[in-house]
Amino acid sequence: MDKKRVVVTGIGVISPVGIGLDKFWKSLIEGKSGIDTITTFDTDDLPSNIAGEVRDFNPENYIEKKEIKRLDRFTQFAIAATKMALEDSKLNLLQIDRTRAGVILGSGIGGATTWEEQHSVLLEKGPRRVSPFFIPMMIINMASGQVSMAFDLKGPNFTVVTACASGTNAIGEAFKVLQRGDADIIISGGTEAPITRLSMTGFSSMKALSTRNDEPSKASRPFDKDRDGFVMGEGAGIIIMETLDSALKRNARVYGEIIGYGSTADAYHLTQPSPDGEGAARAMKASILDAGILPNEVDYINAHGTSTPLNDKFETLAIKNAFGEHAYKLAISSTKSMTGHLLGAAGAIEFIVSLLATFKNEIPPTINYDNADPECDLNYVPNRAINRTVNVALSNSMGFGGHNASVIVKKYK
């Protein structure tokens, strides 16, 4: 069976560095951090009180007022970013076969805000006061379910949950659905709203978060010798994926073509990557094989780059394993240095960065790269964006539980 070619025709972004594609990209290229002290709840007794909050999001700009109270923040993000992506793609939903259009999203935590709020209601006011919308607001699949209902899309519909690899796995699985011809159009990406008191406490208890509270904008420092943990972020990255036939039929503007996807498991540890990044290396190699290209054809990697001591060290080793000597010729950056770590939405936001790098021939920097780590000795595009022709880009994600995923995008020709 001939595999369909798959392209991206629309982008929607809600992020700590900006809402909307233009503001998001401008902030990244300028090296602006979206990380600051948390404003939505008291953090005085928490070890880490910084995060990448989306500060200027008003759901009323995208969703009817009566619907908002029935949607957790992570679902609000998904619907809003989908509206942006549809507008960007100029896709007329009245002119498509909606049974051939689906939604495949990723989220790691889902309705964390709703869970926490309703648990407080249960303790303070009793079971009769718990909202009947508690379950349908909280469950992780509801982002893709609500998006499909909001836009009457009746094709494949599911949510991928692989912790911090969720967004990348969602895009990869959507790619395969389209490639096989099971749909013509898929809305894909990731969404997450994990910045709650309980979530921050849980990640702090694991000692996973940065405690550089006095310098929020400098706390996320992937690959830097002085990194001390990741910084939580929130938001959504949504793309409109189509078969090339569908895009050509409506004369759509194409951002780039997805050509490869690899997914592996470490089968090693709850939270730590496998030694030497063996599982991540296999995911990259699998995506390269799936794409039918040579390793030296990859120009740029958007790294998972969490700013934790083990992740950055092992991802560096994984890149060397997958690319050999070419690893030293790659441009590599971690935009988590600016956005923080959006957990299940990270891979989607970072795929969009990889896509735009091929479309614009610009590569955002890894900011806060001040002190080189001898164990991280590749080109991490330190502190300043660079202009470089990017024909092929790879985006990496790795999640708790040992999940690894890589997606490759190339310049559309």
Catalytic positions: 164
DSSP assigned state of 36: E
**141 φ, ψ (degrees, to nearest 5):** -70, -10
Beta-strand (E) ranges in 86-162? 101-106, 157-160
Q: Are strands 101-106 and 157-160 parallel, antiparallel or unpaired?
A: parallel
Strand partners, 187: 103, 240
Taking CB atoms within 8 Å and a gap of at least 24, the contacts of 41-46 are 41/196, 41/197, 42/197, 43/197, 43/200, 46/197, 46/200, 46/201, 46/204
**For residues 201 and 261, what is the distance between their CA atoms, to the nearest angstrom?**
34
**For residues 359 and 268, what is the distance between their CA atoms, to the nearest angstrom?**
37
Question: Do residues 231 and 192 lie in contact, with contact meaning Cβ atoms separated by under 8 Å?
Answer: no
Those residues with Cβ within 8 angstroms of residue 216's Cβ, 6 or more apart along the chain or in another chain: 33, 35, 36, 37, 50, 231
CA 241 to chain CA mean position, Å: 15
CA 6 to chain CA mean position, Å: 19
Those residues with Cβ within 8 angstroms of residue 258's Cβ, 6 or more apart along the chain or in another chain: 6, 7, 8, 171, 175, 241, 407, 408, 409
Question: Do residues 59 and 68 lie in contact, with contact meaning Cβ atoms separated by under 8 Å?
Answer: yes
Q: Strand, helix or coil at 2? A: coil
Residue 268, CA atoms < 13 Å, CB-side half-sphere: 19
